C-alpha cells in the first residue's frame, strides 16, 4: 500500500492509538485518529482524587503484555505503580483463604486435585490445543491457527489443529470435556470478576486467549504491572508521542464509502480519506455509517457485558486494608452483587476504593443500573467497609463478543474475509478480546497484514 495513503482511525483507546503507532513505525504518517470523548484511553480511565489517580477501568497488566510493552518502549515509560495484593471474603463478609491448605484442612483433597488439573490443563494447551493462544480468532472455528506467537519476538506461526474447534464451546463445557472442571476456581478470579461474563455462556476461546497459561500464572503469583499515573497514562503518553495526536471531541455523524474514498462527516464537516480503521464498537457502526448488508448481519450478532464500577469514599476506620475478591458473588445466581473491591493505594486512607459488578447474563433478565448500585453499596456494608459517599460511577459497554453458536459457525472468519472490502478495516475489542493488550496486539497484526 502507498505510504501516503490517507487513513482515518475511529477511536483513541488502546486499539486506535496502537494502530497509529504501528502504522507510523511502518512509514505511514498520513493518519488521523478521531475520538468522540474529551480524553484518550477508552476504558483505561484513571481520574484524579486527592492528588492521586485511581482506576475506573483497566487496573493492571502482566509481563506477557507484549503490545503494552511495545508502547512503553515507544514512549520511554515503564510500569512504576503500586504493588498489588488481595485477599478473599465470603458473601457474609468473613475473610477466607480458599487456596491455603493449612487454613482449610478439609479442602486438602480438593486443592490437591485442583493443582493436578491445572497442570493437566497446561499440558493440554501446549499439545492438544496448540495454537490456542494466538491473538485473534482467525481460523479457530475451522480448526486452524494463524498469527503471531505469544512471545516477546512474536514470530509468525500457522498450522492446522482440529481440536481448536472445541474453543467454541462455553468454557464450562470445555472444562468438562477435558476433565479439568476444578481449574475454574483459579480462572474465575481474573475473568468473571474483571467483567468478562460467566463460564456457562462465554466461549472458551475468549477465556483462554485472554487468560492463556502464562498470563494466568502471572495473576496467580501476583506478578503484576501497574502504573503510578494509572493505565490511562500509558495511552496519554502514546498520544503525546505520536506525530498525529488524537483529535478529541470529534462527533462523527455520517460515513459514506464510495468510488474508493471514505467520506467522514465529523463535527459537521466532511473529510475525505482513502482507508478507514474502525476500533470503536462495531455493534454501533451501522448507526452512523453506510453499513452494507453483510456488515449489518454480522455486527448485529455482537453482545456485550454491562459492567458497573463505583468509586467510593469510606471513613478511615472503614477503609479496607487490602483488595478483596468475593467468589460467592461470581455466579449468575448472584448477578448484580459486588464481585471485587479494589484498594489501589496501600499507604493512605484518603483515597477511594473501587467496586465491580456485572448485571447481564445471557439467560437472565438484565438488572437495572440503580438496583445493581444499591446492591453493591449494601454488599459493602456486609463486607464491613461501608461507603460514606460515591465519588464516581461508570457503567461500561464492556467485552463485546459473540456466543458459541455464532463462534462455531465461523463469525470471525467471515468478518476477517471482509477486511479491506469496503476500504474499511475492523479492529478493537471484538476482533480479539476486551483487555488493553489483546486489542493493541490485534492492531499490530492488522497493520502487519494489510499495510
Q: What is the pLDDT of residues 271-319, one digit of tens each?
A: 999 999 999 999 999 999 999 999 999 999 999 999 999 999 999 999 9
Instruction: Determine contact, residues 357/375, Cβ cutoff 8 Å.
Output: yes
| % of residues, the chain, pLDDT over 70 | 100
- On whether the 7-81+227-302+403-450 domain is CATH 3.50.50.60, my answer is yes
Q: Could you say which architecture CATH assigns to the domain 98-220?
A: Orthogonal Bundle (1.10)
- Domain ranges in the chain are 7-81+227-302+403-450, 98-220, 303-400
pTM as predicted: 0.96
Average pLDDT score over residue span 167-186: 98
pLDDT tens-digit readout, 71-102: 999 999 999 999 999 999 999 999 999 998 88
Mean pLDDT of the chain: 97
pLDDT in tens, 208-241: 999 999 999 999 999 999 999 999 999 999 999 9
Per-residue confidence (pLDDT) for residue 451, from 0 to 100 = 96
Provide the pLDDT for residue 106. Answer: 87
| pLDDT surpasses 90 at 68 | yes
Per-residue pLDDT at 440: 98
Q: Give 206-263 as a DSSP string.
A: HHHHHS-HHHHHHHHTT--B--TT-HHHHHHHHHHHSSS--B-S--EEEEEEETTEEE
pLDDT over threshold 90, residue 1: no
378 pLDDT tier (thresholds 50, 70, 90): very high
Q: What are phi and psi of 371, to 5 degrees?
A: -70, -45
**Predicted pLDDT of residue 16:** 98
Q: Could you tell me the pLDDT band of residue 152, with boundaries at 50, 70 and 90? A: confident
What is the C-alpha separation between 261 and 332, in angstroms, rounded?
47
What is the residue-wise DSSP string for 284-344? GGGGTB---HHHHHHHTT-EEEEEEEEEEE--GGGS-SSEEE-GGGSSGGGTTS--EEE--
Architecture of domain 303-400: 2-Layer Sandwich (3.30)
Three cell numbers, residue 9: 482511525
Amino acid at each position: 500500500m502507498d505510504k501516503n495513503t490517507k487513513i482515518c482511525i475511529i477511536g483513541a483507546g488502546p486499539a486506535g492509538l496502537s494502530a497509529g503507532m504501528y502504522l507510523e513505525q511502518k512509514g505511514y504518517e498520513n493518519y488521523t485518529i478521531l475520538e468522540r470523548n474529551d480524553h484518550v484511553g477508552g476504558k483505561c480511565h484513571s481520574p484524579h482524587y486527592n492528588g492521586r489517580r485511581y482506576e475506573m477501568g483497566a487496573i493492571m497488566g502482566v509481563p506477557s503484555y507484549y503490545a503494552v510493552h511495545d508502547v512503553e518502549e515507544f514512549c520511554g515509560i515503564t510500569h512504576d505503580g503500586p504493588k498489588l495484593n488481595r485477599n478473599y471474603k465470603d458473601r457474609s463478609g468473613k475473610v477466607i483463604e480458599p487456596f491455603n491448605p493449612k487454613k482449610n484442612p478439609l479442602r486438602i483433597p480438593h486443592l490437591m486435585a485442583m493443582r493436578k488439573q491445572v497442570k493437566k490443563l497446561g499440558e493440554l494447551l501446549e499439545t492438544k490445543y496448540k495454537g490456542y493462544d494466538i491473538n485473534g480468532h482467525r481460523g479457530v472455528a475451522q480448526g486452524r491457527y494463524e498469527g503471531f506467537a505469544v512471545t516477546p519476538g512474536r514470530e509468525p506461526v500457522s498450522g492446522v489443529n482440529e481440536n481448536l474447534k472445541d474453543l467454541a464451546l462455553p468454557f464450562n463445557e470445555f472444562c468438562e470435556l477435558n476433565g479439568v472442571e476444578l481449574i475454574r476456581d483459579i480462572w474465575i478470579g481474573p475473568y468473571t470478576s474483571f467483567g468478562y461474563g460467566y463460564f456457562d455462556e462465554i466461549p472458551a476461546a475468549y477465556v483462554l486467549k485472554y487468560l492463556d497459561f502464562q498470563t494466568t500464572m502471572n495473576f496467580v503469583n501476583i506478578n503484576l504491572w501497574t502504573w503510578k499515573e494509572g493505565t490511562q497514562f500509558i495511552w496519554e503518553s502514546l498520544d503525546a508521542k505520536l506525530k498525529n495526536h488524537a483529535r478529541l471531541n470529534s462527533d462523527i455523524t455520517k460515513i459514506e464509502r464510495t468510488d474508493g474514498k471514505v467520506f467522514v462527516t465529523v463535527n459537521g464537516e466532511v473529510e475525505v480519506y482513502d482507508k478507514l480503521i474502525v476500533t470503536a464498537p462495531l455493534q454501533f457502526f451501522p448507526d452512523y455509517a453506510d453499513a452494507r448488508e453483510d456488515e449489518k448481519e454480522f455486527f448485529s450478532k455482537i453482545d456485550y457485558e454491562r459492567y458497573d464500577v463505583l468509586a467510593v469514599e469510606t471513613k478511615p476506620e472503614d477503609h479496607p486494608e487490602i483488595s478483596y475478591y468475593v467468589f460467592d458473588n461470581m455466579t449468575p445466581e448472584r448477578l448484580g452483587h459486588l464481585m471485587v473491591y479494589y484498594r489501589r493505594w496501600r499507604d493512605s486512607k484518603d483515597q477511594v476504593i473501587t467496586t465491580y459488578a456485572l448485571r447481564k447474563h445471557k439467560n437472565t433478565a438484565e438488572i437495572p443500573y440503580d438496583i445493581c448500585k444499591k446492591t453493591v453499596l449494601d454488599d459493602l456494608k456486609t463486607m464491613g467497609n461501608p461507603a460514606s459517599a460515591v465519588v464516581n460511577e461508570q457503567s461500561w459497554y464492556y467485552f463485546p463478543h459473540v456466543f458459541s453458536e455464532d463462534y462455531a459457525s465461523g463469525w470471525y472468519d467471515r468478518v476477517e474475509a471482509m477486511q479491506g472490502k469496503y476500504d474499511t478495516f475492523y479492529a478493537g475489542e471484538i476482533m480479539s478480546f476486551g483487555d488493553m493488550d489483546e486489542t493493541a496486539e490485534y492492531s499490530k497484526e492488522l497493520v502487519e497484514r494489510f499495510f
